[in-house]
Amino acid sequence: MNYTTALNMASGKAICYSGFREGQKPGGVVPSYEEIKEDLQMLQHHWQYLRLYDCDPHAEIVLEVIQNENLDFKVMLGAYIVAEANNYGCPWGGSYSEDQLHNNKSINEKQIRKLIHLANKFPDIIFSLSAGNEACVDWTDHYVPVDSVIEYVKMIKKETKQPVTFCENYLPWLDKLKGLVEVVDFISIHTYPVWEYKNIHEAMEYTKSNYFAVADTYPDKPVVITEAGWTTYSNGKGICPSNVSEEFQSIYYNDLMDWSMDANILTFVFEAFDESWKGSSEALEPEKHWGLFTVNRKPKKVMQNLFSI
C-alpha cells in the first residue's frame, strides 16, 4: 500500500531541506528569512514536498516563509529527539551521564509539544508529522527506546490531525520496530546503498529491495522513503572515494525519481543543499556533500539541466 493512494495525497517530488549555510548550524547561527526565501524560491517549481527535521527556529522561519510568500509546499515536520539511553556501541559517541539522560527526556517532551504546537498553527502547510529521526538504529548516538517513541507517537496523534510517522533506516522496521508499526499512520524508511558498499550499478535494485522488504512485511501500512541519496565526496571513512561523484549522484537521482514516480511512492531525496557543519572537520567528510546543490547554492551535475550555473 503506498502513501499517496492510502492517505489521498497528490503525487509529487519531495526533498529534505536544511538551510544552514557556511558558518551556520543547528543551535548556532540560523539562516535568515531572506536566505530561506531564496532557497525555497529555487526549489518551488521542482519539488512539492519538503521534509524538515526539527522544531527549531530554522523550521519556524521556513513555515513563515511558505505562509507569507504563498509558496506551494507541503511539509513533513519532525521532532528531533535526543538520547534517552546509552548506546555504547556507537563509534562516534553514545554515552551519557544519568543526569543528562534524565534531562534529555525533558528536552524530548518539550520538542514533541513544540511539534504539536506548530502542527496546529500551520495545518494547511504541514501535511505529516514525525516523532523522531534515526533514534532506534544500532549505530545512533541519540538512542531512544522503542517504547518511548511509541508514547511520543501517541502524544502527537492525540493532539493533532495530521498523519504521524517515525523516520528510521529500513532495517529496524523488520523486527525491532514492529510495535511501533501498530501506532504510526505510515512507515518512513531510509535507504542508502552507498553507505552499504553498493556501487552505482547495484544501487537502484538495492533501494527497491530495501523498500519492498518493509512494504511486503506490512502490506496494510503505507511506506514512504524519507531519505535516499548519493553523496558526491568522501574522505574514505565508510564510503570508498571511487564510489562517489557528481556523475554517480546524477545517475542515482534520476533512476530513483523514475522508479518512485512510476510506482507512486513518495520519496524524499536527501538532500537539497550541502551542509558544511556536518560530520568531522575534514573537507571531504561525506556527510557534508549529499546536496543536489553546493553550500553556495550552485547546482551540481544532477541539477544543471534545470538550473544555470
Reported pTM: 0.96
> Is 179 a residue whose pLDDT tops 80?
yes
Strands 74-78 and 49-52: parallel
Q: What is the pLDDT of residues 70-79, one digit of tens each?
A: 999 999 999 9
Q: Which residue has the cell 519538503?
A: 50
Q: Which CATH architecture has domain 3-303?
A: Alpha-Beta Barrel (3.20)
Strands (E), the chain: 14-16, 49-52, 74-78, 126-133, 164-169, 187-191, 223-228, 267-269
Question: Which pLDDT band holds residue 15 (cuts at 50, 70, 90)?
Answer: very high
Q: How far is 11 from 178, CA to CA, in rounded Å?
A: 27
Neighbours of 167 (CB within 10 A): 24
Domain ranges for the chain? 3-303
